[in-house]
Structure 1
């Protein structure tokens, strides 16, 4: 049977109370129109350096980007009270692996400076799609910087710049409108990648739910006063790991693909990023989810277990983790096809809801934000006993990885002993903290500590001790902005606890609807249930604040429910914010020295041209150009390539580097000479009009003196039959 929480969610009905008003949006007057809310939607390009930079998510030194598949974007939604427009919330959904304290601080500072009376630290939420194919190096703490060779300023700057632009565009588009809310089931959009840990939860609790993974997509629809859809914000739990660890093309994984597919369906003639309809596919309680829906199999050529399902309890093949890999629905074709399929399934779920008459959302706008220091935080459990969270630490199974991205050496999931003695990790352990103090060992038990990051402060903090606690309320919808990855059951408990509080304290009635959005604002790794923590699979080992992490969040978020009540304008007392680490950040990456075209060549020259024979749908056409390092100019809000069609004697761009049918691949051919190539590829889609086409390559070269000069190159013409 379905969970009672979801039944209650599905059953709510409420009528929107439209208010005639004349309000002020920014500096522009909005004429009197019947609407309870002012709504704004915007989008911005946040793509960092697409080459020579480690990618964020799998934490693999070998995964250094070599080009671009899909640009990363931030999408923003603003909901304001039409009767009191300064009362508003901002929800940002960014195509990044996780939220970050430093990134959020910079975004808040920029917006609060530009709009001092409207946007602040309390009403802005920075949520991630948790994709694993984006540009890395932007997080403030040292642990996630290690594989990126430190802090990557260009990545961080691009995220901040594009996100602020998305919010500005949302602000400028504010107009009266209405909201509605509903949900639908996507059965084939995810699986549980740690089913043995899920089974550790009480049988009577598991019996409340049909699946061991949340299958529901919740959607908040944004309409103008005429009932025309301007966009939506949806919530569905599935990891952004459709693209595998060996991928080196920057992309936005299945959430970004879903957004592209939906926005292109609504505005097929708009270049991606220039659309006005904004489709939001937000991450939810993602912790133990996987998009690799065929399951995990052994890829061990020559071994008897090759091609067999991985061992159930530990996800191993021959007692090793390296060969156990999850397979997406397009496995026989490519991980990019799996990515498209999972994205399409989410888009189809949203399309189903957008085609229905959904119950309208009505009621107050409110928000609450506080900082919470999780190191040795004592609080009272529901049974009256005292519990405590711990300074951050990673367990041994953290190094075992998951079926989406297996670990290495002799670490496996579900091993709560400290027996592995791999020399590499022993050196790493010693560099972090030689011996965790006994109080930390006891606090983190039964987790054996691999990396005691809470006590690692050289050259600056390895992990956050303080997290953002935030909730946004829009009518009967409450969004829990979570600083970590909650597992399926952890998310269910969290939603149920807060919904119960909202109703019991009279903040919202029985139609209260609660969703989880994260990992957001601060990245504090995972949140497993106590039962899952005891099993110590990857998610439990990565629950950095100890076994009572979930209960601590439930306690704190629950204590702040009253601040969401109608008419409340106060904010709670708060622990101090995390220190600003930007002044301490180190980077071992070298900049671009110079670019060379090579003797007898110019930047943008074609070195390998398109074929002269006609192409047809399904075929790929490519051209190779004399290139320059794309780090010289990220071309935010622009493109490294276009596919142009000849129409009535003039060239018209019909594809860019933001279309999934194109790829931009860069290759350094000589470090000494500074030469490189750019390979542009287009896989021709079904339905492409017959005609004459060409590639255009946009680049920027850097001289020895540091001058950056833009250039343009064109391929020869080719025909599509």
Structure 2
């Protein structure tokens, strides 16, 4: 099979002028400088035997998240240039998940609060960079050989640790690890797709799951963090080996419970020693280790990538899914619910990103449980609806009901907390009282699910953050549904096409650590993804003319009037 492949990168031109960055949810984490530029990096792959509409388009951005607004803008721009030649099901937007990138790029309400609000200039710059890199990649296509390799990062390499060990150890399909072995409680396998011309490697794509949180919330510069440093190191190395225009993408796999910081005895003391320049040096070191492992893999024989290109894309309302019994422990009535955030979400993670103080978290849990008891009384209003909600949300102590737009039972504009106590609560109340959130969703609920075929590879493109075991179970489910042959491989790429939070396993969810508290559609969320991806896999297996799957469901349009009320807000001083 002959492929033509092009690649390009384009800097994301955003002036850091004091807006809070996306990732840690801290109003004081404001950008006032650029340490290392943020880029959009793209590949376009065309099968010589297919027409132009069969091309795969892949763009990875140095950002914390992908939003539906970004994808809408990129699709609109590509349609202007390509017309009907664009098959949206073959376009992937993903990100490195750096926490040192701009916020304010979503139309939904919650994840923009910290910025504060929606920043149109940020979204426009992101869309422009993605479009420029994709179109440049399209124009630069040449005959290219593609190879695939996979190999674990050696255990002694200090690149990743599981940050939620108690939750991980709840899974019956893992060998429990002790606190001094957290570096083994994750998927250490790097997957590498390399692009070759004239016997030389010219570009590459790595998939390896680890959070881009080497840099903490006390810093004030845009920076690509470990994934950005890995890309820069790899591109420099490729150029030294003779590549003319090298592009290296270090994208994410199952990073949900994986930290770049040591987790184990003495971890907090060790983290406190990393401050300022030491954090940048650490991010560079972590990225270089990822890059060096990729280059070590290139020394071994790769598997040729051959075969047709294909893709399927659907949107599913993950807040209202019936979960197949095989993915719900045999239960016939398992369902997801409208999105809710637990106290565990607001407590954050102790090493990567601490949240509210523990005493406040304790009080919040008591109030959340009191609210649950009140709502589940038989005489309570809407008792049956709340019974369904709590059955879906399981043990989560719900602090924010994002679907109903309440906090501990109070409407957003009436939260009984003084504005001076928390700037985010103050901003939430302000926007609610303005009417800026009346019809707008707080978080996405209708989500994009996608599977790409690149010859003998299948790529599950999933939104949000999957934990190690959740991602492994999803890949296993999809691979089984696709009935893959020997020599065919199924991979997962997370943070694709939109962002809504986390996906944990049912067992991990019961721990209600940060990841479970941020699994917003309840304890059956992974089962819902498995159920929906099975249907999508069946569609991909069928001849194109016979495919029957939902191509009409789409996210709701956020009212322009409400978006305007939370746009163009001045950065906090």
Partner residue of 2:337?
A: 390
Question: Helix, strand or coil for the counterpart of 1:572?
Answer: coil
1:346 aligns with 2:346: no
Is the CA contact (8 Å cut-off) linking 1:400 and 1:411 kept in structure 2? no
User: CA distance change for structure 1 residues 70 and 399 in 2, over 3 Å: closer, same or farther?
Assistant: same
1:468 aligns with 2:448: yes
1:577 aligns with 2:554: yes
CA distance in 2, matches of 1:452, 1:536: 16
CA distance in 1, matches of 2:524, 2:360: 23
Partner residue of 1:376?
A: 320
CA distance in 2, matches of 1:511, 1:205: 28
Partner residue of 1:486?
A: 466
Partner residue of 2:400?
A: 451
Match of 1:587 among 554, 566, 572: 566
Partner residue of 2:537?
A: 561
Match of 2:196 among 206, 211, 223: 223
Residue 553 of structure 1 deviates from its aligned partner by 0.8
Residue 564 of structure 1 deviates from its aligned partner by 2.7
Partner residue of 2:214?
A: 242
Partner residue of 1:410?
A: 358
- When you count strand as a share of all residues, which structure comes out higher? 1
Residue 446 of structure 1 deviates from its aligned partner by 1.3
1:336 aligns with 2:313: no
Is the CA contact (8 Å cut-off) linking 2:11 and 2:129 kept in structure 1? yes
**Superposed counterparts of 1:164-243, under 5 Å:** 164-186=131-153, 187=155, 188-202=158-172, 211-224=184-197, 226-243=198-215
Q: Unaligned regions of 5+ residues in structure 2, if any? A: 369-381, 406-436
User: What whole-Å deviation, never above 9, does each CA across 1:500-525 have from its counterpart, x for those lacking one?
Assistant: 2222xxxx312221221121111110
Larger radius of gyration: 1
Residue 384 of structure 1 deviates from its aligned partner by 6.8
- When you count helix as a share of all residues, which structure comes out higher? 2
Residue 45 of structure 1 deviates from its aligned partner by 1.4
Question: Helix, strand or coil for the counterpart of 1:217?
Answer: strand
1:361 aligns with 2:305: yes
CA distance in 2, matches of 1:367, 1:136: 30
Residue 464 of structure 1 deviates from its aligned partner by 1.0
User: CA distance change for structure 1 residues 389 and 275 in 2, over 3 Å: closer, same or farther?
Assistant: farther
User: CA distance change for structure 1 residues 480 and 154 in 2, over 3 Å: closer, same or farther?
Assistant: same
Question: Helix, strand or coil for the counterpart of 2:128?
Answer: helix
CA RMSD, Structure 1 to Structure 2 (Å): 2.9
Residue 580 of structure 1 deviates from its aligned partner by 2.7
Residue 439 of structure 1 deviates from its aligned partner by 3.1
Of the structure 1 ranges 559-568 and 452-461, higher mean CA displacement relative to structure 2 is found in 559-568
User: CA distance change for structure 1 residues 553 and 411 in 2, over 3 Å: closer, same or farther?
Assistant: farther
Residue 588 of structure 1 deviates from its aligned partner by 6.0
CA distance in 1, matches of 2:74, 2:204: 22
Is the CA contact (8 Å cut-off) linking 1:259 and 1:280 kept in structure 2? yes
Residue 420 of structure 1 deviates from its aligned partner by 5.8
Is the CA contact (8 Å cut-off) linking 1:468 and 1:483 kept in structure 2? yes
Residue 204 of structure 1 deviates from its aligned partner by 5.6
CA distance in 2, matches of 1:325, 1:477: 43
Partner residue of 2:419?
A: none
Higher relative contact order (CA 8 A, sep 6+): 2
Residue 530 of structure 1 deviates from its aligned partner by 0.3
User: CA distance change for structure 1 residues 334 and 60 in 2, over 3 Å: closer, same or farther?
Assistant: same
1:41 aligns with 2:41: no
User: CA distance change for structure 1 residues 539 and 557 in 2, over 3 Å: closer, same or farther?
Assistant: same
Question: Helix, strand or coil for the counterpart of 2:458?
Answer: strand
Match of 1:122 among 89, 110, 123: 89
Q: With the length of structure 2 as denominator, give the TM-score of the two structures.
A: 0.84
Is the CA contact (8 Å cut-off) linking 1:242 and 1:253 kept in structure 2? yes
User: What whole-Å deviation, never above 9, does each CA across 1:644-694 have from its counterpart, x for those lacking one?
Assistant: xxxxxxxxxxxxxxxxxxxxxxxx9xx9xxxxxxxxxxxxxxxxxxxxxxx
CA distance in 1, matches of 2:36, 2:460: 29
User: What whole-Å deviation, never above 9, does each CA across 1:196-255 have from its counterpart, x for those lacking one?
Assistant: 110111166669x9931111110011123x332220111000001000111111101110
Partner residue of 1:261?
A: 233
Partner residue of 1:162?
A: 129
Q: With the length of structure 1 as denominator, give the TM-score of the two structures.
A: 0.67
User: What whole-Å deviation, never above 9, does each CA across 1:464-506 have from its counterpart, x for those lacking one?
Assistant: 1110011111011111111110001101111111112222xxx
**Superposed counterparts of 1:62-211, under 5 Å:** 62-86=28-52, 87-186=54-153, 187=155, 188-202=158-172, 211=184
- How many residues were matched structurally? 514
Residue 75 of structure 1 deviates from its aligned partner by 0.8
CA distance in 1, matches of 2:202, 2:51: 19
Partner residue of 1:30?
A: none
User: CA distance change for structure 1 residues 102 and 256 in 2, over 3 Å: closer, same or farther?
Assistant: same
CA distance in 2, matches of 1:510, 1:206: 31
Is the CA contact (8 Å cut-off) linking 1:526 and 1:540 kept in structure 2? yes
User: What whole-Å deviation, never above 9, does each CA across 1:253-274 have from its counterpart, x for those lacking one?
Assistant: 110110011112222699xxx9
User: CA distance change for structure 1 residues 366 and 525 in 2, over 3 Å: closer, same or farther?
Assistant: same
CA distance in 1, matches of 2:134, 2:38: 15
Partner residue of 2:256?
A: 287
